[in-house]
Each structure stands twice: as structure tokens, then as C-alpha cells.
Amino acid sequence: MLEGFPVHWIDAMTHILVVEDEPSLRQLLVTNLGYEGYSVEAVDDGEPALAAHRARRADLVILDLMLPRLDGFQVLADLRGRNDLVPVLMLTARGEEADRVKGLSIGADDYLVKPFSVLELVARIRAILRRTQAPQPPAVLRSGPFRFDLPGLEVRRGGRLLDTTPREFRILEILIAHPGRTHSRNELLQLAWEVDGRPTPRTVDVHVANLRKKLGEDDLGRPFITTVGGEGYRWTAAVEADAGD
């Protein structure tokens, strides 16, 4: 059940670029991150790292600082110098506090000290992605007998397309984004009407009344949009992402 937009999830095919010159560690990272469901590409130096990122943009870079030719500091400086905000997790040697401070100061998102456990690495990756990946709401939602196509501005009941206006659909979109929550008339005005075109709260009532006629009632004869005292309106049915989308 959705608790309200945005819905948070991390795509199982998040692409990670590993930049590590030690063959055994590089292979360990590739294998274990692959087991976690990530798409992984690995290189052994800075120049091929930048080339790989240009060819296929990474969602996160695991970057060893001590590379043979173009080191991690230079790679990071190049990325940030081009305003590339790809998340970067640095790998540093034990005791090199100055390196960690320098890396963070020029734009790294986090660091991990060698040797480290794979479990800790995965936990750090997930934490960085939660902070940096923009969550997106699902494009298609289901609620009771309804299917809402948000990009298409369409709502269907049992496969039948309902004739809703763009304004009515916008009100529906606001209500189903927070099922069970009461939205005041003024709040609906602010969210569903342009600043220069907001009518009176009575107009909200008219639109909701029209929506109720088009949506019909549930099996017990109740409307899906409930009036809450003198406060406003709320959507009563549970809402979930359409698994077929």
C-alpha cells in the first residue's frame, strides 16, 4: 500500500563503475555486487574509468584513490570540474586520514577504509543511493476497481475509460497520492489550480461532485471520495502500484 508519493525504491539494475587496480579485489567487488543485483563494470585506472563513464553513465562510482597513472583524486576532480554529480564512494588505505579529508573536500560522497567487509560496502552503497537517487512515483496505480494512468491522465473502472477532465484528474491524482488523508478545499485549490486562476472553495465542491458521479460507488453504495466534516475530502480505498506497469 502506498503511504504517499514519492514512492522510494532502488532499481535492481543500478549501474556501478568499479575503479580498482588490484585484480583480486576488483574481481571480488564485481562478483559480489553482481550477486546483489547491480550492473557492474570494472576498470583498473583513472583514464579508462572516465572513458567508461562517458560511454555509459554510472549511477555510482567505487573509486580507489591510489591508482597507477591517473589517481582517484584526479578522477574525482575531473568529474566535479565538469559538474558531474555522480555519487562516488572512495576506497582508501588504513590510516590515510589526510587522503580521506581531501577526497571528501573535493566532492566524494563517502569513503571506506581497506580492508573492509563486503556487507559494509553494500550497506554504504545502499545508503548513498537512497540519498542521491531521485525517487519516482509509479506511472500506473490501482485502487479498488480503478486503474490510474498518471502520464496519460486516464482513469478506468473495470477496463472502462471514464470521461474525466484534466482538472478532475488532477484532483484525483492529489487524493490518491495520500489515501486516507483529508485534503482541505483550500489545499486542493492550491495544488490543482494555477495561481492566477484559483476559484472559490465552492468550485472544488462542484468538481468533486462531478467526480463522484463519474466514479460511481463501491459494493456497499459508498462514494470513493469521502467528505470529512467541514474540513475537506479524502480517498478511502487502498492504493498500490500496478504490478503490470
Give the pairing type, strands 88-92 and 60-64. Answer: parallel
- Class at the top of the CATH hierarchy for domain 15-132: alpha beta
Total Cβ atoms within 10 A of residue 127: 13
- Whether 165 has a pLDDT exceeding 80, the answer reads yes
Total Cβ atoms within 10 A of residue 213: 9
pLDDT category of residue 7 using cuts at 50, 70 and 90: very low
- Whether 191 has a pLDDT exceeding 90, the answer reads no
Mind listing the pLDDT tens digit for each residue in 120-142?
Answer: 999 999 999 888 876 666 788 99
In the chain, list all ranges with CATH 1.10.10.10.
Answer: 140-241
Share of residues in the chain with pLDDT > 90 (%): 54
- Whether 158 has a pLDDT exceeding 60, the answer reads yes
What is the residue-wise DSSP string for 62-76? EEES--SSS-HHHHH
- Helix-, strand-, coil-residue percentages of the chain, each rounded to 5: 40, 20, 40
Mind listing the pLDDT tens digit for each residue in 53-71?
Answer: 998 889 999 999 999 999 9
Averaged over 26-49, what is the pLDDT?
Answer: 91
- What pLDDT, on the 0 to 100 scale, is given for residue 8? 31
pLDDT category of residue 39 using cuts at 50, 70 and 90: confident
**CB of 100 closer than 8 Å to CB of 112:** no
Q: Which CATH number describes the domain made up of 140-241?
A: 1.10.10.10
In the chain, list all ranges with CATH 3.40.50.2300.
Answer: 15-132
